[in-house]
Structure 1
Amino acid sequence: MSAGELSDVPADAEHGESAAPATEEPAAPASTCSCLDAEAPNGRAVAEVLLDSALPQLDHLFDYAVPEELAGELRVGQRVRVPFRNQQRKAFGYVIGFAETSSFGGELSPIADIVSPVPQLTPEVWRLARAVADRAGGSAGDILRLAIPGRQVRVEKQHLAAAGTPPEASAHAPAEPLDADSAAIAARLVTGERLALTATHSPERLSTGEWVGAWAIRLAHVAMAVHAAGKSAIVVLPDYRDQDQLQSALAALGAADVLRVDARQSNAERYGSFLQALDGVARIIIGNRSAVYAPAHELGAILIWDDGDPVLAEPLAPYVHARDAALVRAEQSGAGLFFAAHARSAEVERLTLIGYVQDQVNPPRRTRVIHADQSIAPDAFAGRVPDFAAKTIREGLRTGPVLVQVATPGYAPVSVCGDCGDLARCTACGGPIGFRTAGTAACRWCGQHAGGWACAGCGGNRLAERGMGSARTVEQFERQFRGFRVLLSDGDHPRERVDARPAIVVATRGAEPLAAGGYRAVVLLDAERLLSLENLRAGEDCLRWWENAAALAAPDGVCLMASGGGPVVQAFVTGRIDEWLHSELRDRQALRYPPAVRVASVTGGSAQVDRALAALRTPDTLAGVEVLGPTPVAASDPAARGAKLVRAIVRFEYARGSDVAKRLRGALVSDAAGASSRQKGRAPGRAVPEALRLRFDDRGVFDG
């Protein structure tokens, strides 16, 4: 299709295009860099181009003529500029392929110029982006913006200048021999097997003297064994602290050709790593969720650590989880897939039960877990912890640090009316009011200060604190355990590491620092509060939080569950997490909840949602597809507040995923291209609040 066929595209469509980055300049001269060995036109007159656009109606290939002056330099994967709608307006895009002829009957517009001589988009990554976007009902361009970092001209010129000869793999040998188990795992991965491992607890000391989690050393060994076989390994980790541990382990073991790609790098560093990944050399690539899209020569395996962490779910459209992208890429490339965690996600457990992923054979080493007296409610104690937990803390402090995990940051997580006891709600958004610091109340959702608050029920204006956050726990521990250091680690006061000296470290879930030698004791508080979260995955998340905290204990340390009861707590204390997961999956299968089935949420105005659902009401798609709703929902975007929105939830079997995504995507494209997606007086390219929105595999779709 030619850009000239877009007579029905609104005149303001170009405002949705990506503007030229400030760093983009005319293309540098050609180089002998191996990344330039991409497909050339070879006499073919037509280039198929994917426009770099966020508009769903432009998510397909456009035909452009290959000009004679560019025919010798043009390559598949290059970023180019092309005329769009007329010769004066230019849009960016990627060359996807070449063809002898075009199905368009008119005259094709020629490609204007080449932005970069480097083919940034490899055929493998393009196939992945297209497949992942189709699975999620999204646009391939949105995936490519995650996969390809912004161009840095100076970095690119330096890389091309240094690429006079094809790069060769490093011949450095590991500083330490790889363990036999990891070598055996790697041998299976490079043949395309899919494996799941429950990681061993406790930190271990590297030859450099640095302490890292035992899981990091295991993943480092496996990645290095894959690399030793002449293959690339991609390791995806939730956040920078995990990446730091793995990078330290790789360096201590003498790993060569290690690249890091993550959001904390500068633009120049990330683009430099991306260019190195394009070279024809097998490498170990580590990074956050977007690393799953990194170009990799001879990909042998994708390793994912702690896939249950919600950070691995992309918050931008089309909201693809790194685990799902890895599953697609492994299937396409034939690479192995390795899931490792202290507590397995329900999705990976389902894959092991159906035989798609192979479970480990040997059980891991696990911290000893004990439980305080369950018959006594925690509110019966004057202090923050029961006597038995306080005793455990004091015993641990004799020889080293003690970790205390709490549920929420701040001073008091919630507040109530001091007169009638009703929960205090924000007058602006309806969110709960809490105390970030003593005496300072604000909404936990929108952050608005609660000064002048009045109870909607009785009219009282006195707020009373309820519950204890991390700051209030620290305050009480300083009184209860005088003479010992009390350290805080949460979102506002992050700590990555603590030394081996005695100290009480109060940390919110996920913010626990690593202790040199491990903690002498790990105390878990607020189990009841965490399990009462209105979340389908509350039990699963609690097990992951608790297991990750217990894994920070020293080999001879102990983990204490201070309170709480029920099946989830029992599964954690006894170590029978797999049994609980099996039971949970059976319940979700009976109720048709994820991951037993897939889901998609369809949100928008009533008319828009009805049109989208009508696309599913055909005889060949009704089997295995169920629609819940639509029901009214509040707008999440402040700019859309006041709009009358509804949401429907579509549940469907995995085998129906392609059909459901295709039909809902078609409805989205029709909605975006039609008059219903625009409104007079709004900024060009901005959709009206009622415009259709799709989200597949939303982990919070059934949350309260």
Structure 2
Amino acid sequence: MTGPGDPQVPDFEAERPGERRVARVLLDSSLPQLDHLFDYAVPEALAGEIRVGHRVRVPFRSQQRNSRGYVIGFAARSDFGGELQPISEIVGPVPQLPPELWRTARAVADRAGGSACDILRLAIPQRMVRVEKQFLAALEESCGATGTAEAEPRGGGRDPSDPRFSPSVAERETAESLAAGERFAVLPPHGPTRLGTGEWVGAWAVSLARAALAVHALGRSAIIAVPDYRDLDQLRDTLASLGGAEVLRVDARQSKGERYAAFLRTLVSKPCIVLGNRSAVYAPAHRLGAIFLWDDGDPLLSEPLAPYVHARDAALVRASLSREEDAGEPIGLWFGAHARSVEVQRLVEIGYVRAGAPARRTRVVHADASVAPEAFAGRVPDFAAQQLRRGIADGPVLVQVAAPGYSPASVCGGCGERARCASCGGPIGFRSPGRGSCRWCGDAVAAWACPSCGNRSLQQRGAGSQRTVEQFRRQFSGFRILLSDGDHPHERVDSRPALVVATRGAEPIAAGGYRAVVLLDAERLLGIESLRAGEDCLRWWQNAAALAAPDGIVVMASGGGPVVRAFVTGNAEAWLREELRDRQALRYPPSVRVASVSGGPSEVERALAALGELPGVDVLGPAPVAERSGDRARGADGTPNPSPEPGRYRAIVRFDYSLGDEVAKRLRAALVADAAGASSRAAGRGARGRARHTALRLRFDDRGVFDG
């Protein structure tokens, strides 16, 4: 075997207890009152094999009741005055929680007012005994044969004999800056690129993959986090084409065994590239050099589970921890997108992130901003239709629409009021002709009646993807027409002539790029009741424009105003700066941070009282939460509750970034007190096994907190 200083030895040698006989254990529990370390005795039988990071079983509340937890560290003595319970057993031979991952989970949870275990559940997949045994056997065989885990060049993470990838001078300089802890905001070029293996991918995927491989060539690991499987597949193909690095997938489409095997590989002392979705930012990759985040404005990168941390914020926290004293090597950040988010733009404005030079953009023209869409003869104006006909003669063309289905909205045929579901209050739309249903709960509306006038007829409003295809089959008869949306997904189309109708985010890649891209429904998208409607529109439009061929054209079919003007003129950065100034004046995120505090009226009041008179903190509310009627009117089995629980209230706390730690600490303390208090224990769980309706809940940095 090689010496202990050799980075290729996968010995999993975490810290041992030595003469210390007290283990500090984090219980694997979502209860906020248990989110701290407990002291347990290290029994003599386990002293020789237990390590920091091991998962263990420990008695909790009684000798007969065991809980699971992680060993965080060891101490010579405990402050606990009584007799310590001993650790029952070690769960598995591999320490799953490296110190760096623990520090990251703790810091991320503290920033979001949450529990560290909730973060660790995202980072550490479910243990699979069979996979673990196979992995350890393969490692033992590899070490026995070569003396190291694998034959890896000592000069870095890439095999220099592999001719497929060699970083340019600029790429090597960028990689060295990232490995030194620099932070970049990059706008990659538009257009598709053909790989050496024949696949077509976005040029952004090649830029990102080459940057990650350049970091890996320095002997450092790289983590790449992307919103969805389409982006992941493009990067997987690109990295495979360029070669030169071991790529570990960490995403929801893997089986449990595949996910756990990839996690075990990240624990090995060898640089790698981790590719996955939002939880990939927590991967314990060896000698991590940089975290790459693509399209951070996409809401898919925001974790839907408590404590609801966005992948961008987790990456920022992890990188900042790497720059602390004795934290090891620094970690760089690379934020890439065709349309920069306001959060990253703020970081650029304050000098925390360095903005790269904008790359080539597709030519954009406006059909006619002065004509309303309803005035067009057909789905698109004449100018846009001409561009589609010209483009389809040479190859595929793309039409982006706002919504899937047949008709996204409907109104009462009698009084014209917006039709809403009687069960949950959601909007009624049509997934297909004549089949109306609620867009929130999915209930059919065959027996719908207008609450205002009693009329039972519905009139469709707007055109979804299916209705657009129906109209195009008449307007563009003789051409091949394809539909790509959530129900009819297409990842790629060939270079033959075709008219592709796609909802935003479901646009397939075309071989060679689209000859023309037409963007419909700008008014509808800009009218979404959201603080982020403008930046989301820029992101949707830029992502579609990036699919055009180098000599293609993008046509904005209709719409006007600052956002449309910024897109058409290519001056989105100026619009973002103005947007940030407006939000600063109004104290809207990201100029300030926000926390949503919800629960019963007394619970919310107690939490707000814990904030005291902190300067730089203001509170909106509390006010009743507008609930959908089905949320609390029925029990777990679907039957009506005999006595509905009282309504919930919500307050929005706004605070300066410098106060983030203090606000999170105080609100978290209120949450723990609410969960552990006598009233909570007495209330227990509500009717039919449902959680206590008035329990306090926190959510920091919710992107939709001000949405309608």
TM over 0.5: yes
Percent identical among aligned pairs is: 68
Match of 2:349 in 1: 353
For 2:305 and 2:582, how far apart are their aligned partners in 1? Answer: 30
Asked if structure 2 preserves the Cα contact closer than 8 Å seen for 1:223 and 1:233, the reply is yes
Q: List aligned pairs for 1:500-515, cutoff 5 A.
A: 500-515=495-510
Q: Which moved more, 1:300-309 or 1:682-691?
A: 682-691
Asked if structure 2 preserves the Cα contact closer than 8 Å seen for 1:33 and 1:160, the reply is no
Match of 1:645 in 2: 648
Q: List aligned pairs for 1:6-25, cutoff 5 A.
A: none
Given candidates 85, 105, 111, the residue that maps to 2:61 is 85
Given candidates 221, 241, 259, the residue that maps to 2:210 is 221
For 1:306 and 1:122, how far apart are their aligned partners in 2? Answer: 29
Work out whether 1:676 is the aligned partner of 2:679.
Answer: yes
Work out whether 1:433 is the aligned partner of 2:425.
Answer: no
Match of 2:699 in 1: 695
Q: Letter of the 1:180 partner, please give it.
A: V
Match of 1:418 in 2: 413
Over 3 Å counting, the alpha-carbon distance change for 1:680 and 1:200 in structure 2 is closer
Over 3 Å counting, the alpha-carbon distance change for 1:355 and 1:604 in structure 2 is same
Match of 2:576 in 1: 581
For 2:290 and 2:163, how far apart are their aligned partners in 1? Answer: 19
Over 3 Å counting, the alpha-carbon distance change for 1:242 and 1:387 in structure 2 is same
Match of 1:167 in 2: 149
1:177 Cα offset (Å): 2.7
Match of 1:479 in 2: 474
Match of 1:66 in 2: 42
For 1:258 and 1:581, how far apart are their aligned partners in 2? Answer: 35
* 1:159-189 CA distance string (max 9 Å, x none): 1111122424363535133233322211210
Match of 1:598 in 2: 593
State the Cα RMSD in Å.
1.4
For 1:137 and 1:319, how far apart are their aligned partners in 2? Answer: 10
TM-score with structure 1 setting the length: 0.93
Name the SS of the counterpart of 2:354 in structure 1.
Answer: coil
Q: List aligned pairs for 1:155-304, cutoff 5 A.
A: 155-164=131-140, 165=143, 166-168=148-150, 169=152, 171=159, 173-304=162-293
Q: Structure 1: any 5+ residue segments left out of the alignment?
A: 1-31
Name the SS of the counterpart of 1:640 in structure 2.
Answer: coil
Match of 1:23 in 2: none
Match of 2:491 in 1: 496
Match of 1:39 in 2: 15
Name the SS of the counterpart of 1:669 in structure 2.
Answer: helix
Over 3 Å counting, the alpha-carbon distance change for 1:204 and 1:478 in structure 2 is same
Match of 1:624 in 2: 616
1:684 Cα offset (Å): 10
1:633 Cα offset (Å): 0.6
Match of 2:110 in 1: 134
Work out whether 1:661 is the aligned partner of 2:664.
Answer: yes
Match of 1:381 in 2: 376
Q: List aligned pairs for 1:432-581, cutoff 5 A.
A: 432-581=427-576
Asked if structure 1 preserves the Cα contact closer than 8 Å seen for 2:296 and 2:341, the reply is yes
Over 3 Å counting, the alpha-carbon distance change for 1:456 and 1:614 in structure 2 is same
Asked if structure 2 preserves the Cα contact closer than 8 Å seen for 1:203 and 1:551, the reply is yes
Match of 2:127 in 1: 151
For 2:685 and 2:647, how far apart are their aligned partners in 1? Answer: 19
1:43 Cα offset (Å): 1.5
Asked if structure 2 preserves the Cα contact closer than 8 Å seen for 1:498 and 1:515, the reply is yes
The alignment of Structure 1 onto Structure 2 pairs a total of residues equal to: 669
For 1:364 and 1:694, how far apart are their aligned partners in 2? Answer: 40
Q: Letter of the 1:581 partner, please give it.
A: L
Q: Letter of the 1:167 partner, please give it.
A: A
Match of 1:12 in 2: none
For 1:582 and 1:398, how far apart are their aligned partners in 2? Answer: 41
Over 3 Å counting, the alpha-carbon distance change for 1:58 and 1:682 in structure 2 is same
Over 3 Å counting, the alpha-carbon distance change for 1:134 and 1:636 in structure 2 is farther
Q: Letter of the 2:531 partner, please give it.
A: L
Q: Structure 2: any 5+ residue segments left out of the alignment?
A: 1-7, 153-157, 323-329, 634-643
Match of 1:98 in 2: 74
Asked if structure 2 preserves the Cα contact closer than 8 Å seen for 1:36 and 1:117, the reply is no
Given candidates 325, 329, 338, the residue that maps to 1:342 is 338
Match of 2:305 in 1: 316
1:591 Cα offset (Å): 0.2
Q: Letter of the 1:197 partner, please give it.
A: V
1:687 Cα offset (Å): 3.2
Q: Letter of the 1:339 partner, please give it.
A: F
For 1:558 and 1:200, how far apart are their aligned partners in 2? Answer: 15
Q: Letter of the 1:698 partner, please give it.
A: D
Q: Letter of the 1:38 partner, please give it.
A: A
Over 3 Å counting, the alpha-carbon distance change for 1:103 and 1:572 in structure 2 is same
* 1:213-262 CA distance string (max 9 Å, x none): 00100111111110010100001111111111111111111132111111
For 1:374 and 1:107, how far apart are their aligned partners in 2? Answer: 77
* 1:655-690 CA distance string (max 9 Å, x none): 000000000000000001123335366489963100
Asked if structure 2 preserves the Cα contact closer than 8 Å seen for 1:182 and 1:218, the reply is no
Q: Letter of the 1:640 partner, please give it.
A: R
For 2:36 and 2:302, how far apart are their aligned partners in 1? Answer: 25
Name the SS of the counterpart of 2:139 in structure 1.
Answer: coil
Asked if structure 2 preserves the Cα contact closer than 8 Å seen for 1:179 and 1:221, the reply is no
1:637 Cα offset (Å): 9.7
* 1:539-567 CA distance string (max 9 Å, x none): 00000000000000000111000000000
* 1:66-95 CA distance string (max 9 Å, x none): 011011110100111000101100101000
Asked if structure 1 preserves the Cα contact closer than 8 Å seen for 2:12 and 2:267, the reply is no
For 1:52 and 1:461, how far apart are their aligned partners in 2? Answer: 53
Q: Which moved more, 1:639-648 or 1:601-610?
A: 639-648
1:264 Cα offset (Å): 0.6
Match of 1:28 in 2: none
Q: Letter of the 1:55 partner, please give it.
A: L
1:634 Cα offset (Å): 3.0
Q: Letter of the 1:124 partner, please give it.
A: E
Asked if structure 1 preserves the Cα contact closer than 8 Å seen for 2:165 and 2:244, the reply is no
Name the SS of the counterpart of 2:355 in structure 1.
Answer: coil
Asked if structure 2 preserves the Cα contact closer than 8 Å seen for 1:35 and 1:118, the reply is no
1:430 Cα offset (Å): 0.9
* 1:375-406 CA distance string (max 9 Å, x none): 11110123111111111110110000011000
Asked if structure 2 preserves the Cα contact closer than 8 Å seen for 1:386 and 1:562, the reply is yes
Q: Letter of the 1:325 partner, please give it.
A: A
1:639 Cα offset (Å): 5.3
Asked if structure 2 preserves the Cα contact closer than 8 Å seen for 1:217 and 1:249, the reply is yes
1:35 Cα offset (Å): 4.9
For 1:52 and 1:635, how far apart are their aligned partners in 2? Answer: 32
